[in-house]
Structure formats: C-alpha cells, structure tokens
A and B are shown apart, each in its own frame.
Chain A
C-alpha cells in the first residue's frame, strides 16, 4: 500500500514558467513533509519542508503548500530554470516510534526547456 503518491511520472515546463509538482498521502499520522531533488546517479538533496501545523512554506523560488483536509501537498518552482531539471521526491514523516522514518513517493521527472 503506497502511503505517499506522486501520480505524475513526468512534467515538462518552459524556462521562466511555473512548475507545480503534486503529492498525495493517505496516512493521517504524517506530520512533516519534505521535498528532495535528485540528479541521476547521485544522492537526493533536501529542498524544502513543511510541518503539518502550517499550510505554506517559502524559500526563494520554492514554495510548498499543504492541504491537510485533502491530504495533498504541492511544490511550486517560480521561475523554473533549466538547472531545475531533475527527479523530485516528496517524503513524509510521522512521529512516535516511527520518528525519523521517511516514506517516499515514486518521484516526478521535471524537465525545464530553455
């Protein structure tokens, strides 16, 4: 049972436009969400995160929105740049005995065209 889902395997965007990557989750115990960026044959790098007590977090060109009632989060990249082309993973963390364990989505391949 996939608790974190990224339903779009790929997304193609023109340079300068907005990229919106989506993520859905099913486990209501998740209380912290993260986005990672990954290039081929490299480890993921942390981008931005959001706690379940917030509905928005912004860091430069990156903004994450959380809709708890819909169990949905999204990552907005504005403006998109060719260097943003990578695989983006969303991940979720729950507290308690599972604290620190991340559950990842399948990833979305973002391609930004010049």
Chain B
C-alpha cells in the first residue's frame, strides 16, 4: 500500500526540549512538505523540499529545522526556539509534475 506515514500520532514534550517528527512516503514523490494547523486556521507551510538534499523555508520556518537525506524521508525538528509549538503537524508529498499534494495522518504535538 502506497502512502505517507507520520509517527507518532500523539507526542508530548516538556518545554525547552527539541522533538523530531517523522514523515515517510513510499509514493516515489520528489517533493515533500511540512504544515502546521492551529484551531480556526488553515494549513501554514513550515518547510518544503523539491528534491533530495535540498529544502526551502516556508512561511513560518522560525524555530523549526528539517533534513532531506533520502527521497522517502523528511523529518521535522521542533526546537526550543519555537514559541508556540503545540499544534497539529501535517506532512505531504507531491509528484514532480503534479499539483495535488497527498497528506499523511498528522502528528498532534503537545508541549507541557
């Protein structure tokens, strides 16, 4: 079954700790994206990667970091510099010449 997996579904961390969210896809898509969703708001782009070993900041990259060492994987690290890290995080991927993005199930991060 092809798709995008995000783990874990729920994640709790203490304030001041860095945390890494996993995103894996077996769709053979080149582009991958990270969004966050807050209540009453749309999806806001954090980082994206069009190709392996390359990534760009989205609209709200401050306090986050990413890597793209493999085509299938695009982990997101939420650092202690992110002021409001509690949110629902969504990973997506897209085939090179397509417009549609396919989303994973999301990770709910709660910082205590």
Chain A residues at the B interface, C-beta cutoff of 8 Å: 4, 6, 9, 32, 34, 36, 41-46, 49, 89, 91, 93, 100-107
Q: Is the CB of A102 within 8 A of B106?
A: no
Please name all residues of chain A whose beta carbon is closer than 8 Å to the beta carbon of B102 when the two chains form the complex.
46
B40, B58, B103: the one within 8 Å of A43 (CB)? B103
Q: Is the CB of B106 within 8 A of A100?
A: no
The majority secondary structure among interface residues of chain B is strand
Q: Is the CB of B90 within 8 A of A43?
A: yes
A32, A42, A44: the one within 8 Å of B99 (CB)? A32
CB proximity to A under 8 Å, residues B55-112: 58, 88, 90, 92, 94, 99-106, 108
Residue of A nearest to B98 (CB): A100
Extra contacts besides A34-B100, A45-B103 (10): CB < 8 Å: A43-B92, A44-B90, A46-B102, A91-B43, A93-B99, A100-B99, A102-B43, A104-B35, A106-B41, A107-B41
- Inter-chain residue pair count (beta carbon < 8 A): 57
A6, A42, A43, A101: the one within 8 Å of B45 (CB)? A101
Count, chain B residues at interface, CB 8 A: 27
Please name all residues of chain B whose beta carbon is closer than 8 Å to the beta carbon of A91 when the two chains form the complex.
43
B49 to chain A, nearest CB (A): 10
Q: Is the CB of B100 within 8 A of A106?
A: no
Q: Give 22 CB contacts A-B under 8 Å.
A: A4-B42, A6-B42, A9-B40, A34-B100, A41-B88, A41-B106, A43-B6, A43-B90, A43-B92, A43-B103, A46-B102, A49-B99, A89-B43, A100-B48, A100-B50, A101-B45, A101-B48, A102-B33, A102-B43, A102-B101, A104-B42, A104-B43
